[in-house]
Each structure stands twice: as C-alpha cells, then as structure tokens.
Structure 1
Amino acid sequence: MKIRVHPATIEDCDILHAFIEELARSLNLSHKMQSHPDDLRRDGFGREPKFKAIIASSVNQPVGIALYFFTYSSWAARSVLNLHDIIVSKEFRGKGVGRHLIAYLAIKAKQEECCRIDLEVRSYNQARKFYEKLGFSQDTSNLIYEIDQNQFDILSQ
C-alpha cells in the first residue's frame, strides 16, 4: 500500500475534524468534544496558527492525520515538537500509516533542530505499544497537571 503524507490545508479541516471525532469515539470521550471544523480553520490556519497538521493518504483517500505544535525546552535551549493527536482509520491500522506520519514528523523535528518529540497518551490507549515499538519511552519523572477554564477566574484574582 502506497502512503503519501502531506501538510494539511484550510480546505482539509472537515477531514481533520472527522478524524478527531473518530479518536474521541474510540476513547469513549465523545462527551468532551467541543471543537468544530471552523475552530480548526481559525486556530490552525489563521494569522497566528496554534497548530500544524498533516494527512496520510492512500489512493487519494485520507487514512490518517496528525496534529502537532512546537514548544520550547529551556533546559535544552531547543524547540520540542509536541505530537498532540495522531489518528489512523481503523481499517488502515497495522499497515504502516502511523509509522509514515511519525517519520514525517521526525524529519520535520530534525529540520527545526528540535531536541525531542513529546506526546501524551492516555494510560489505557492501546497505541502505547505502537509508540514504544518506534522507540518512544515513558518519562516517569514528569506528571501532567491541568486546570480548566473555571479555575482561571479564581486564580486571576
């Protein structure tokens, strides 16, 4: 199966959103979905894009996507590529699509002189095995803490 990976454009936001919805369903998190394709258009392809996206296609059919953005490591004094979402259609899993997406991002990280690629994975996500097979390792020294919008007002007073 021939797989082609290319940067997403603003015209691809419906495709990106459909894959994100598929991920939410597969993780039983559809109730947390608040985004709309118009949000992706605004946030990924506006004046100051907050993310970038790539699409994997086979025979002109989208079979996977990845959303990523760059952060900064103050310790390494280098950029970090943060792989936020990677989603492959169920019927194309195990056929090299995910590997092609991550290979594309590894090239991008090298071009941008990043010190690493980070990704967050839910503890029950079966894709963890796939990431480990590619050489990703779990950083057990860091925990993720978060606050939601309700806490912003409280903290900002």
Structure 2
Amino acid sequence: MSATPAITIRPATADDCPLILKFTQDLALYEKALDKVEATTDAFRTTLFGPTPFAHVIFACLDNKPVGMALYFFNYSTWKAKPGLYLEDLIVDDSARAQGVGTALIRELARMAVREGCGRMEWSALDWNKPAIDFYLHKVKAVALDEWTGFRLEGASLTEFASQD
C-alpha cells in the first residue's frame, strides 16, 4: 500500500503565469463564468510580478506537481488598525480533491496572516457553491458573514463614475 504523497506549498514565480491563467480559467469554468475571464499571462506577469505586485500566489503540490492555487492580497481594517489577508481565489484540481490540498493552502495563508500581524483573514464564496461553503464552515471553522452586501463597479460603470465631477 502506497502512502499519500505529502503536500508541499510554494510561492509562484513569474514563470508560473501560464499555470496561474490555467487555474484561473478552471475556476471560472467551475463557476460557469469562463466567458468573463479577461486575464492573460502577460497581465498576470505585470500585476503579480511587476514593480508593484498587487496580489500574490501560492501553489499546493503533490509529487512536485501543482494541484492547487491560492491568490491573495493584503488589505487593511480601520477598526482593528491592522492589516488583513484577503483570499481572492482558491482552486484545487479535480484530481486532488479530498486530499487536504484546500486545507493546506488555507492553513498556509492563516499562518502567513498570523506572521504578518493581520487582524483577520477573509474571503467569499458564491452562494450556490455548497461544497465550498460546507468546507469553510465545517473543516476550516470559518464564520459566514451574512450582514454584509457586496458591491462592485467595473467596466463602463467604473469609468463613467470616475469621470464625473
């Protein structure tokens, strides 16, 4: 009987941009929104590894093969007067589900948040994604925030609003 391979976590490098795009597209496909992905490898190279990195990526690997990805960035809480860590995307390859990959990625981010003195770590899940919600509530023991309503400005609405006096 063979042992389950150990999960290793590593930071992404600029050479990983095609892999970051693949995981992003896989997530979008799962979320039934592949047509909304505008990202490119060049855009990831600029925004993640350029002079001002806007976010960071870590990979979970089994046998040195990336099977999960987390994209995160730091934000700030005025109420806590501390930074926070925001998990934007968590993606685990279908072949690696139920092997602890998602847990390992979130645990690594939690450890990072603690090391950086963050007051909290937050993320969102689509309201129809019951497997993710159950995982976050029962395995991770996160608290669901139901008192907040998300808002977004993008595309023409963002540009139009920004251009008004």
Q: Which shows bigger deviation, 143-152 or 37-46?
A: 143-152
Gaps of 5+ in 2: none
Partner of 2:44: 40
| TM-score, with length taken from structure 2 | 0.92
The amino acid across from 2:134 in the alignment is K
Alignment partner, residue 131 of structure 1: 136
Matched letter for residue 154 of structure 1: E
> Whose Rg is larger?
2
Q: Which residue type is aligned with residue 49 of structure 1?
A: P
Measured against aligned partners, the alpha-carbon deviations of 1:17-42 in whole angstroms (never above 9, x if no partner) come to: 11111111111110111101111111
Q: Which residue of 1 aligns with 2:99?
A: 95
**Which residue, 17, 22, 27 being the options, matches 2:26?**
22
Per-residue CA deviations over 1:53-105 (Å, capped at 9, x if unaligned) read 00011111111000000000011000010000000000111100001101110
- Alignment pair present for 1:144 and 2:153: no
Provide the identity percentage: 34
Q: What is the aligned residue count?
A: 157
Q: In structure 2, the residue corresponding to 1:20 is in which secondary structure?
A: helix
Correspondence for 1:122: 126
Taking structure 1 as the reference length, the TM-score comes to: 0.96
Consecutive unaligned residues of structure 1, counting only runs of 5 or more, are none
Letter in 2 for 1:127: A
Letter in 1 for 2:124: E
Shift of 1:136: 1.1
